[in-house]
């Protein structure tokens, strides 16, 4: 259910985009399958970061003296750098493609449904 918030945000972005960007097409257009793969990994990264934050907050007060707080912004940058390297893209390519697909709600919904199905299958394993 935590993923639902991310998907709602994407829908808000999709509906908020004006007609000025309708003709926008990234130089390196990722296929729907590539976007499904990447967005699935994005959700896993975000879930991991949220889990780590929750675990850190739930530590006993006495335990926190021995724990160095994590820099989640830095961790996020590292995770995303690894993600982009794995898929052979840059953050700019990802952002352009996210912008492209948010302007096409039908395609974005299809991608997001596939991501949710994939995550649900992984969670059942």
Q: Which residue has the higher pLDDT, 11 or 101?
A: 101
Band (pLDDT 50/70/90 cuts) for residue 40 is very high
Q: Which residue has the higher pLDDT, 6 or 39?
A: 39
For range 17-33, the mean pLDDT: 77
Query: In the predicted model, is pLDDT for residue 118 greater than 90?
Result: yes
Could you say which DSSP state residue 27 is in?
A: S
Query: In the predicted model, is pLDDT for residue 101 greater than 60?
Result: yes
Q: What pLDDT shows up at residue 61?
A: 59
Distance CA 60, CA 67 (A): 11
| 51-96 per-position pLDDT tens digit | 988 887 777 555 555 555 678 889 999 999 999 999 999 999 999 9
> What is the three-state SS of 76-97?
HHHHHHHHHHHHCCCHHHHHHH
Say whether 103 sits in a helix, a strand or coil. Answer: coil
Q: Which residue has the higher pLDDT, 117 or 27?
A: 117
Least Cα distance to 28 among 107, 87, 113, 114 occurs for: 87
Q: What pLDDT shows up at residue 15?
A: 52
């Amino acid at each position: 259910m935590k993923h639902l918030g991310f998907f709602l945000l994407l829908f808000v972005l999709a509906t908020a985009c004006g007609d000025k960007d309708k003709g926008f097409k990234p130089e390196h257009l990722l296929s729907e399958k590539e976007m499904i793969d990447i967005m699935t990994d994005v959700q896993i990264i975000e879930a991991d970061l949220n889990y780590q934050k929750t675990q850190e907050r739930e530590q006993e007060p006495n335990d926190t003296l021995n724990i160095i707080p994590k820099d989640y912004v830095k961790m996020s940058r590292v995770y995303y750098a690894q993600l982009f390297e794995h898929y052979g893209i840059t953050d700019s390519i990802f952002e352009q493609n996210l912008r492209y697909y948010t302007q096409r709600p039908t395609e974005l919904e299809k991608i997001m449904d596939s991501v949710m199905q994939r995550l649900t299958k992984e969670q059942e394993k």
